[in-house]
Each structure stands twice: as structure tokens, then as C-alpha cells.
Amino acid sequence: MKAITDRVLIMLDEQNDGNLLIPETIERPQTTGIVISVGNKVKDIQKGDHVVFHAFDEVPCLENRVVAVRDKSILAILEE
């Protein structure tokens, strides 16, 4: 699968709530993942970047483990 134009394909991270206790009945959107492909108009994001993106801008692609977002929906690149 290859991203085109201003799109970025992201493999979602495993759900990790850290120390927060959240009832199982409440579903939180996943908002972090690893970039697996970038379109030719994307400038500041590279394959392999760990990113945070806006939760409601994604389009599910591959069994809901990969999402496509516009580059403008990426809020931050996480540093190790």
C-alpha cells in the first residue's frame, strides 16, 4: 500500500492507556502510530516517524490497523 498526494499511511500503535484507568465501555480513538508511507506532497514527515494525529480525520484501510490521514492532521512527531 502506498500513500499519494498529501496523505500519510499510519500503522496504529497497540492501545496503551499507561496509568489511566478507563472503563472498558468507553471507546477512545487511537491517535498514535508509525508512518509506513508518505505521499509525494508531504514534506516534514518521513516513513518510520512515530506520530500523533487528529483522531477523527483518519480513514481505516487495512483491518483498522492502518489509517490514512492528510499530512495536516498530524499534530506532532514523537521523539524517542
Question: How distant is the alpha carbon of residue 52 from its chain centre?
Answer: 6
Phi and psi (nearest 5°) for 14? -65, 145
The band of 2, judged by pLDDT with boundaries at 50, 70 and 90, is very high
Whether the pLDDT of residue 21 is over 50: the answer is no
pLDDT over threshold 80, residue 62: no
> What is the rounded average pLDDT of the residues 58-72?
86
Residues 35-61 pLDDT 10s: 999 999 999 999 999 999 988 888 888
Quote the pLDDT of residue 31: 87
> Is residue 69 within 8 Å of 56, Cβ to Cβ?
no
